[in-house]
């Protein structure tokens, strides 16, 4: 068996070995070369006393199963002790920030529902009731009370409802027009957003113009 590629580089350091794994080749080719070098071409440095090993994957992100495949090959050499396994970090904080939480019920007069993040609320917000979120607010029901999106200053937040007839809307620090101006207008499937620092209302089907990346199923 001959493997002529150079997808696996093994370097000696003061207190062990570093395995540098190519992040551009196919994963199967990487495993094949790793197995070959452990079994045939590097016997002189891979035998003997316990050796600490640092594995570096560059920009390659592997699944847990793929990680185990790499480790299983390395563990076949009983003297190799895996000390670290390095690959790029997933941006979990950013992904979590975009999660859309779903809640259901009725927000009655005097009640305040606070939520950190984006919220899909299945139900009605009655007059005197309030929903306040740091992110977006989507209401599959009637909004007849108050909704405050972007409460920590996010002016890009939106408020949407199946039936939009609030006592007050607020995005960041901008407050909507008074309730009497909501009369004599179509109120179904609309959303509120800020444009040049002023509250605007539009049909929900036009939300992509304000938020081109909008995808309600991702909560973005």
CATH for 79: 3.30.160
Query: According to the model, what pLDDT value does residue 206 have?
Result: 86
Do 62 and 87 touch, CB atoms closer than 8 A?
yes
Q: Which of the four pLDDT bands, split at 50, 70 and 90, describes residue 78? A: confident
Average pLDDT over residues 158-182: 84
Least confident of 88-97, 125-134, 154-163, 186-195: 88-97
Query: According to the model, what pLDDT value does residue 14 have?
Result: 85
Same-domain pairing of 66 and 163: no
Q: Which of the four pLDDT bands, split at 50, 70 and 90, describes residue 47? A: low
Task: Return d(Cα 62, Cα 91) in angstroms, integer.
Answer: 15
- 220 versus 6: the higher-pLDDT residue is 6
Task: Return d(Cα 203, Cα 189) in angstroms, integer.
Answer: 6
Of 153, 156, 129, the C-alpha closest to 141 is 129
**pLDDT of 89 strictly over 70:** no
Do 104 and 121 touch, CB atoms closer than 8 A?
yes
Task: Return d(Cα 106, Cα 124) in angstroms, integer.
Answer: 5
**Domain end position, chosen among 69, 86, 103:** 86
Average pLDDT over residues 103-110: 91
Give the percent of the chain with pLDDT over 90. 38
Q: Which of the four pLDDT bands, split at 50, 70 and 90, describes residue 209? A: confident
Query: According to the model, what pLDDT value does residue 126 have?
Result: 95
What is the domain range of residue 17? 8-86
Same-domain pairing of 101 and 46: no
Task: Return d(Cα 16, Cα 44) in angstroms, integer.
Answer: 14
Measured from the Cβ of residue 77, the count of other Cβ atoms closer than 10 Å reads 16
CATH for 171: 2.160.20.70
Same-domain pairing of 108 and 170: yes
**Domain end position, chosen among 57, 86, 115:** 86
β-strand pairing of 198-203 with 51-56 = unpaired
Query: 27 in a domain, yes or no?
Result: yes
Do 144 and 162 touch, CB atoms closer than 8 A?
no
């Amino acid at each position: 068996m001959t493997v002529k590629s150079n997808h696996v580089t093994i370097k000696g350091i003061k207190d062990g070995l570093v395995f540098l794994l190519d992040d551009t080749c196919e994963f199967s080719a990487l495993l094949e070369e790793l197995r070959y070098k452990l079994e045939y071409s590097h016997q002189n440095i891979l035998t003997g006393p316990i050796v600490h090993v640092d594995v570096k994957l560059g920009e390659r992100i592997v699944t847990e199963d793929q990680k185990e495949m790499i480790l299983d090959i390395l563990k076949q050499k009983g003297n190799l002790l895996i000390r670290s396994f390095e690959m790029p970090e997933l941006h979990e904080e950013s992904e979590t920030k975009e999660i859309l939480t779903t809640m259901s019920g009725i927000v009655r007069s005097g009640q305040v529902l606070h939520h950190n993040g984006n919220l899909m609320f299945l139900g009605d917000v009655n007059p005197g009731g309030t929903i306040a979120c740091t992110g977006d607010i989507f209401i599959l029901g009637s909004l007849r009370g108050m909704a405050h999106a972007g409460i920590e200053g996010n002016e890009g937040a939106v408020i949407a409802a199946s039936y939009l007839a609030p006592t007050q809307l607020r995005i960041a620090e901008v407050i909507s027009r008074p309730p009497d101006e909501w009369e004599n207008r179509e109120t179904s499937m609309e959303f509120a957003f800020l444009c040049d620092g002023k509250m605007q209302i539009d049909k929900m089907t036009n939300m992509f113009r304000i938020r081109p990346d909008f995808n309600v199923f991702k909560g973005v």
